[in-house]
Amino acid sequence: MTQDADRSNAPRVVLVTAAARGLGLAVARAFKVRGDSVHVSWRSSSAAVPLLQREFGREFVHRVDLARATDAEQLVAEVVALEGRLDVLVHPVGEFKAGSLERATPNDAAHMFESNVTTAMHVFAAARAALRGCRGNALFFGVAGLDSLRGRRDTALYAAAKSALLVLVRSWALEEGAHGVRVNAVSPGVIPHADADPLTLDAKLHARIPLGRAGTPEDIARAALFLCSDEARYVTGVDLPVSGGWLS
Give residue 227's pLDDT band: very low, low, confident or very high (50, 70, 90): very high
Say which residues have a Cβ less than 8 Å from residue 29's Cβ, sequence separation at least 6: 55, 221
**How many CB atoms are closer than 10 A to CB 155?**
18
Give residue 126's pLDDT band: very low, low, confident or very high (50, 70, 90): very high
DSSP state of 99: B
Would the pLDDT of 8 be above 70? no
Reference 64, options 76, 53, 54, 52; nearest CA is 76
Q: How far apart are CA 179 and CA 177, in angstroms?
A: 5
Instruction: List, for residues 204-221, the tens digit of each pLDDT value.
Output: 889 999 999 999 999 999
Amino acid, res. 27: V
What's phi and psi for 38, nearest 5 deg?
A: -110, 125
Instruction: List, for residues 92-122, the tens digit of each pLDDT value.
Output: 998 887 778 888 899 999 999 999 999 999 9
Give residue 45's pLDDT band: very low, low, confident or very high (50, 70, 90): confident
Would the pLDDT of 6 be above 60? no
DSSP per-residue string spanning 217-236: HHHHHHHHHHHTSGGGTT--
Residue 151 confidence (pLDDT): 63
**Is 195:1 a contact under the CB 8 Å cutoff?**
no
**Average pLDDT rounded to a whole number, residues 5-30:** 88
Would the pLDDT of 2 be above 80? no
**234 among known catalytic residues:** no
Catalytic residue chosen out of the listed positions 31, 60, 158, 246: 158
